[in-house]
Each structure stands twice: as structure tokens, then as C-alpha cells.
Structure 1
Amino acid sequence: MILSVVFLAIAIISSLGSTQSQQSQPENNCNTCCQGPGGIPGTPGTAGQHGLPGRDGRDARKGDKGESGINIKGDKGDDGFGQIGLPGPQGIRGEKGDKGLQGVSVPGKTGPRGPVGSMGIQGITGEAGSAGTIGQKGQKGQCGQGRRSAFTAIKTSAQTGNTNDVVTFQETSANINGHFSLATSKFTCVIPGTYVFTFTIGIHEPTDIYIKLVLNGNHTVGVHTRTGGISNDFDTTSSSAILNLQSGDQVWLMFGSSSSRRVAGSSKRYTSFSGFLLYEN
């Protein structure tokens, strides 16, 4: 709206200027040389009234779409040239480390004792059994006196014997029914049965000794021992046997063959000979 008013004012001013120029021109028949100086410009006239607003302009036509630009892809450049580097030398192998110390295995502490379990339920009492019949009393048996046999003989003095000599004893700590004889140092069977015999032999001073248990002169078991070459050296050896005897059989200890045959005997009772009836035949 404002632009329309401005254009209208410019058009009016231009029209007024053109009219004044035509009125001020001299006549052709006037001598220009005789023309006087120009007059003083007159006072500008009063501005005319604003013209009527112009009509709205028509919408501008949309311009045509420009042509698409050409996008040319550039050529791929050539591959660069480069040499592959040589592998570096192998490094020096490091020294093997020392073996670590073995760990200490410490057993754990014993745990606390667990609580005592609750008492179980008492079982049902069983039925009482029927009373059994009491058997008849048996007859009184015969006294067992005279059917026992046992002894232990002790050697209290040292003895050096030859091969097949009887080992002698000087005391008995037990001699039930007197079946062992100190006079012969032999046991005589009175009650037929099975007997157990044991003996221990002490040796003192450097010696090499062989002692055997004989039944009626026949070898059953034996021991063979020696001490070193040191003075006052002492040692003991022992053996045992179970023999089935008949009435009249005799059992004793006998020296065997050896280079030196000395049996120790003293109050300390290093050497002993024992036997007892295990059961009758």
C-alpha cells in the first residue's frame, strides 16, 4: 500500500516538472543574445493531494527449474609403491626362573564337638518269656586233685656243658604233684595228655651256645645264640613247644654241639624251664 502511494507521488511530480519546462522556453523569434538573466525560481507550489491507491499487483509466475548440474566422478588413483620390511631378528631367550617353594599344608583345626542328639523314643517292652523247666541236679563229680601237673625250674649257677649234657636246675618256683625232678632236671609224664613247655636261656661272657628241648632224647625245638667278643656281654634267648605225652615220657633240656657252651645262672634267674598240662588225653 505504501509503495503504491510513493509511485503515485513520483508520477505527479514528474508531470508538473514537464509542464513548467514547456512554459519557460523562449520564442524562436527572440534573439538569444538579448535574453536577460534568469529569474529567481518561484516558490514551490503546495503538494497536491495523494492519488488513489493502486491496485494490487498480480502474483509473480514461478520461474522454470534450472537444469541439473553434471557430476563427473574422478578416476581412481594409481596404487602406491612400497617395499615390505624384513622381519627383525629373534630376541634372546630369557633364563628359566627358579622353582617356587612348595606350599605349606597346614591341617585345619578340629571343629567343635556337635551337640548331643535328643534321646530316642523308648521301645515297647517285649513280652515276658515262659518259664523254662529246671533240669535235675547232676551227681557230684569226683575231686580233680591229682589230675594236675605244672612246674617251673630255675638255674641259679652257671654251667659249661659238653654236647648232649643235661642242663641242670637248682630250684623250682612251682612243682605241682612233683612231676619235675631236681635230681635229674627232667620232667616225667604221669598224666597222659597235651603239655606246653617253655624255656629261657641266659648267656654271659663271649660265647656261642646251642640248647635243645628233647622228648625221650629226641630233638623237638632248639635255640642257637652268641654274644660278641666283649667282656661282660649278656643276652637271653627262648623258645616253646606243645607236646602230646604218654605216661612215662620224659622231657628235658640238653646241650647241642657248639664251640663254646656256657649257660648263665645266678640269683637273677636268667635261665628257667617250665611246663604244664593243657588237657588230658
Structure 2
Amino acid sequence: MATYKKRGYKPNTKEEQQASVEDNSTTAEVFNTLDEGAGKTEAWVARNQKYIFIIIGIAALIILGYLAYEEFIQEPREAEAANEMFQAQQYFDTALESTAASDSLYNLALTGGQGKYGFEDIIDNYGGTKAGNLARYYAGMAYLHTNQYQNAIDRLDDFKSDDEILAPLAKGGIGDAFMQLGQPEEALVYYEEAAKMRDNNFTTPRFLLKAAITAITLGEGESAEDYLNRIKNEFPDSPEANKVSVYLGQAEAMKQ
């Protein structure tokens, strides 16, 4: 058992002297071990100094290369892609507002006009940019409006976004395409996903209603009722809420 020793204490007995010697020896061994470990580390660093500097240099080059790529290549490409897509977006927006010749406007948006790229050109030439990704959404919607449903599915499926509105609209657009292709089972899956993706007053009731109507088409009255009640209870001020009573009656009648 360890005992407290006053400062200046000197061992008197042989046993105490021996214990003191052993304590000093143990302490010396610990410091010797630490010195040996430090010496080995220094020796390893000295032997491998060349390789360490090479590794550090490579890491620095990678970081500097990435920063240079972002500043001098990616950012200018982003700006260039956005500028090139401006005319295609103009065609698309005009087509949405137009009741006549909208198909030709959507086609111009897709293929380009006035010496400017269309959405497909943007995808091909600037696919890795934000504008290139957004072009997939616009192209998908343009295909949907011109009855090219498989192309719409392909482009909208490639579109990736966390946007509150565009993400569910793209997913719901795929549902619309499947519905037009006569595949309501697949359409219902995408309507359900679109309704779940975000919780807002625009896209959520919109796709809940589409899911309910599709469920009624498939004879799934109970599911349709659940969707419609969600609109009624959670989104009473939405335009879709005005249509709930009609479809709710149909869904309830299917259960009788």
C-alpha cells in the first residue's frame, strides 16, 4: 500500500531503500520507453520524409485543382448554360399561356430556335450543370404537353431536385404520363409519392386529388376516401377542396 512521504524524507531501513531504488528504476524505465518511442517516430519520419511531402503535395494539388475547376470552368459553364437556356424557357412559358400553336412552341423549346439551344441541346451540352438538370424538367413537361409520354417519363425521371414545388411536380408529371398511357396502377404510385414528397398548399392537395380519382378508377374506394378526407381536413382552402364532395360520394358508394 502506498504511503505518504514528507518532502525531504530519506529512507532509513533497507526495505525502504530498496523500494526507493525500485521506484526510481520504474520511473526511469517509463521515460526510457517514451524516449525510445519518440526516437522511433522521428526516425520513421526522417526515413519517409520524401513520401510524406509527396502525399501532402498531392492533397494540396487536388484541393487547388478542385477550387480552380469550380472558379474557372464550372462557374462559367453554369452561366453559359443559363444564358443559352433563356430562349427555350421563353418558348416554354409562351406555350403555357397560349391556346393556339402551343405544340409548335413546345417543340421550339425542345429543339431550339433563333440560333439558340433548345432544352435537349442544353441537356446534351451542359448536362452536368444546374441549368442542364433544370432542362430535364422543362423537357419532360414539354413532352407531356405534346403527348410524347414515354419521353416525358424518361426526362422527368432523370430530373433531380430538392425544390419544394418542382420536385413533386416532376414526380406527379410522371404519374400524368402513365395515366395517359393507360397505366393507372403506375400512375397511382407516382401520385402518392408526389403527395408525400412535400407538405404544402399547392402540390400536396393537387396530387392527393389525382391519387383519389385514380384510386376510384381502380375500384379502391377506401384509399380514395382517405386521400379526399386529407384534402378536406388539412387543405380546406385549396381549390381541390371544392371538388372533394363529388368524389367522396363516389368513393363511399363503392364501399356499399
**Which band: TM-score by shorter chain?**
under 0.3
Higher helix share: 2
In proportion to residue count, which structure has more strand? 1
Higher relative contact order, structure no. (Cα contacts within 8 Å, ≥ 6 residues apart): 1
Q: Which has the larger radius of gyration?
A: 1
Return the TM-score normalized by structure 2: 0.17
